[in-house]
Homo-oligomer: A and B are copies of this chain.
């Protein structure tokens, strides 16, 4: 079976903008794949290259070396099969929350009334039914994230790329959202590449957790299959002993890496 996304010996080098500056090899010789219907999380120290990896998968950034394949086809230009929830704020400032959510539908030519109906349904799902008419600058940080989530999910892409989608949410809201995401994923077995700095979240959601090394020359230093039963409730599963066991094993690898990165950059 071909993978939904496959990184094949991929490297990314950011050229130095100043003359004389050294180029920065953010990612080096990374091979990684997300099978169809698989939920893969990526964790790693801050600044290691997780977002860069997602940009590659989205086709927004071309690798300096290696190939990215989507459903077996080498990716050239934008990845039309994927939905991408960005780490930074990417809402259209000239559209209200509702219009932001329905934007993807509008692009697909869905009639206005139907789009609005589905948009309102999604806004309610992310707990923002009351803020439909507000513009992004009138929303709080967490509200913007939730609008962005609805915006990405409403078009039901085959591949979901999510960059720290829940980091601005309080624990309770976050768990609601996580369950929402899992339900959606499970219903249609979409493929998900999920970035988080919260290891518990990664384990609770994923089929597999990939740990990246600290930069530069970031590459995977561990892959951990998560064989917890599905369907899961993200709040409950955290309390099971299997969960804690997996957590400990991954944490051992990850902690060292974070500290290594920190020491490396401080000296």
Which positions in A face B, CB cutoff 8 Å? Answer: 14, 17-18, 21, 43-47, 49-51, 87-89, 124-125, 127-131, 133, 135, 138-143, 146, 164, 167-173, 176, 197-199, 254-255, 258-259, 261-262, 264-267
Complex formed: what's the CA distance from A164 to B133 in Å?
26
- Inside 8 A of A264's CB, which chain B residues have their CB? 130
Question: Which residue on B lies nearest to A257, using beta carbons?
Answer: B172
Q: A129-B265, A258-B170, A262-B173 are in contact. Are A87 and B141 (CB under 8 A)?
A: yes
B258:A173 contact, CB within 8 angstroms? yes
Number of copies: 2
- Inside 8 A of A254's CB, which chain B residues have their CB? 170, 172
Report 9 cross-chain contacts, Cβ distance below 8 Å, ordered by A residue: A14-B138, A46-B146, A49-B140, A125-B266, A129-B265, A130-B265, A142-B197, A167-B167, A168-B197
B46:A143 contact, CB within 8 angstroms? yes
A46:B173 contact, CB within 8 angstroms? yes
Question: A47: shortest Cβ distance to chain B, in Å?
Answer: 4
Question: Which residue on B lies nearest to A128, using beta carbons?
Answer: B265
B199, B265, B267: the one contacting A171 at CB < 8 Å is: B199
Question: Which of A46, A255, A258, A266 has most chain B Cβ within 10 Å?
Answer: A46
What are the 10 tightest A-B residue pairs by CB atom distance, in nearest-first order? Answer: A46-B142, A172-B258, A170-B197, A47-B140, A47-B143, A87-B141, A130-B265, A127-B262, A127-B265, A124-B266
